[in-house]
Amino acid sequence: MRSLILKMFIRYWIAAGLVLLFVDLYPHEQLHRPEATEALSAVLRLHGVALIKAYETGGCPVAAPMLSDSAETVSLVSPQGDPLCMPAPPAGLESLITDAAKSKAPIATNFRTFQVVAQSVSSPSGRPYVVLLKSSFKNPIPYGLVPGSTTIIISGVVTVLLSILIALPIQRLRSAARDIANGRLEARVKWGKSLGVVGGFPHSDVLHGLIIDFNHMACRLQSLVAAQRLLFRDVSHELRSPLARLSVALELARVAGPPSMKVPLDRIETEVARVNDLIGQLLFLAQMETVQELSQPASLSLGELVKSVIPDVQYEANGRGCRVITRTLEDCMVYGDSIMLQRAIENVIRNAIRYTPENGVVAVDVE
């Protein structure tokens, strides 16, 4: 879950960084906040009154010290746009000056790297003027592209919380999926409605819906496996009845049959016992909760295991005139269940006998 949270955190800040970069480089639309507009208007009026008083007293030479500093440039123009004091305002401000002369609030216009704010100011004698403020704050370089520490801290905390709230249900889904894969079919994702609301996920949220679907799938899977186990148990019980009758018929055949039938009847008795044992194994499987509980592993010789199977499969091969031979080229020890491994090897050799031509040879090599 940590890696998922970290990835979401990094991706969020990459996206946020791109947004900040775009916003800083794109011309701002300013003067939307009333308190900022009123403050700027008051400052321009005070500065404008002092500038106009200096201009009307001694002309531009007296007003020159008030026109510019290192960051901003102030120009004094007439309501018609005629420059009264240098430096001259940028070109294309005729409509801005005309609108500002009719308005009491400051009006701004944007350029690529600066902004011009116009404010109408009247002299003590009542003569109208327009004060222009050319500000370079539009340039993103002096202000930097990185937000303040408070913004970073708040955004970081919010991002981490959102990442956790998204990663937590995903982690619980993974945990429940692992439990089901390990045989614990009763595993479910616990994500109540109240917890979902606290986490910001309403009842119809996609993650909440995914959890509901997952739990429904797990419930359906558990019911199917339970039905399969019940089928195994019922079939196994049903097979016991004909086997019991077959055992009775076998005993009657022993009594009434000639001595020459002893060998085949013994073989029938052996196979009936094996079928009965297989039914017992099916019942045992039906009671198992997980596959891990199935086997009783031990250290076994694979060569000896193969040799123990040969007499039984040879009896079956005699019906096709085939021979089954085994060679232990290099024995090895395996760790597993002897009965299950024996059956697996027996199935493979039986398939070989079935597809081998009559009077053929089936060779089983252990290496």
Three-state secondary structure of 181-204: HCCCCCCCCCCCHHHHHHCCCCCC
Using a pLDDT cut of 70, give the percent of the chain over it. 80
Question: How many C-beta atoms surround the C-beta of residue 49 within 10 A?
Answer: 16
Please check whether residue 158 is in contact with residue 176, taking contact to mean a CB–CB distance below 8 angstroms.
Answer: no
Is the per-residue pLDDT at 172 higher than 60? yes
pLDDT at site 140: 43
CA atoms within 13 A on the CB side of 171: 11
199 vs 123, residue with greater confidence: 123
Q: How far is CA 279 from CA 15, 286, 348, in A?
A: 63, 11, 20
CATH annotation of 298-366: 3.30.565.10
Lookup: tokens for 22:
């775009």
Range from 185-199, 259-273, 282-296 that averages highest in pLDDT: 259-273
Is the per-residue pLDDT at 195 higher than 50? no
Cβ within 8 Å of residue 313, ≥6 positions away: 324, 346, 349, 350, 353
The model's confidence at residue 196, banded by pLDDT at 50, 70 and 90, is very low
Using a pLDDT cut of 90, give the percent of the chain over it. 8
Is the per-residue pLDDT at 23 higher than 70? no
CATH number for 31-143 (one of 1.20.120, 1.10.357, 1.10.3470, 3.30.450): it is 3.30.450
**Least confident stretch, 141-145, 157-161, 328-332:** 141-145
Average pLDDT over residues 332-338: 87
Pairing outcome for strands 128-135 and 115-122: antiparallel
Average pLDDT over residues 65-84: 75
Question: How many C-beta atoms surround the C-beta of residue 9 within 10 A?
Answer: 15
Lookup: tokens for 16:
């946020």
Crossing angle for the helix pair 206-256 and 149-181, nearest 10 degrees? 10
The domain limits of the chain are 31-143, 232-293, 298-366
Q: Give the closest residue to 123 by CA, choosing from 212, 209, 48.
A: 48
Please check whether residue 135 is in contact with residue 71, taking contact to mean a CB–CB distance below 8 angstroms.
Answer: yes
Q: Provide the whole-model pTM.
A: 0.41
Same topology between domain 31-143 and domain 298-366: no
CA distance 237 to 288: 17
The model's confidence at residue 139, banded by pLDDT at 50, 70 and 90, is very low
Pairing outcome for strands 323-328 and 361-366: parallel
CA 58 vs. chain centroid, Å, equals: 73
The CATH architecture of the domain made up of 232-293 is: Orthogonal Bundle (1.10)
Let me know the angle formed at the C-alpha of 289 by 283 and 291, rounded to the nearest 5 degrees.
90
Average pLDDT over residues 257-275: 85
**Least confident stretch, 128-137, 179-188, 215-224, 319-328:** 128-137
Helix (H) or strand (E) holding 77: strand 72-77
Lookup: tokens for 21:
């970069």
For the chain, give the longest Cα–Cα distance: 148
Average pLDDT over residues 103-130: 80
Q: Compute and round to an integer the Cα radius of gyration of the chain.
A: 46
pLDDT digits (tens, 9 = 90+) for 27-71: 444 444 555 567 777 877 887 788 888 877 777 777 777 776 656
Range from 41-45, 231-235, 258-262, 306-310 that averages highest in pLDDT: 306-310
pLDDT at site 67: 73
pLDDT at site 290: 45
Question: 135 pairs with which residues across the strands?
Answer: 72, 115
Average pLDDT over residues 311-328: 88
Identify the sign of the CA torsion 290, 295, 296, 297: negative
End-to-end CA distance of the chain: 45
Please check whether residue 322 is in contact with residue 356, taking contact to mean a CB–CB distance below 8 angstroms.
Answer: yes
- 69 three-class SS: coil
pLDDT at site 199: 45
In DSSP notation, 203-251 reads: TT-HHHHHHHHHHHHHHHHHHHHHHHHHHHHHHHHHHHHHHHHHHHHHH
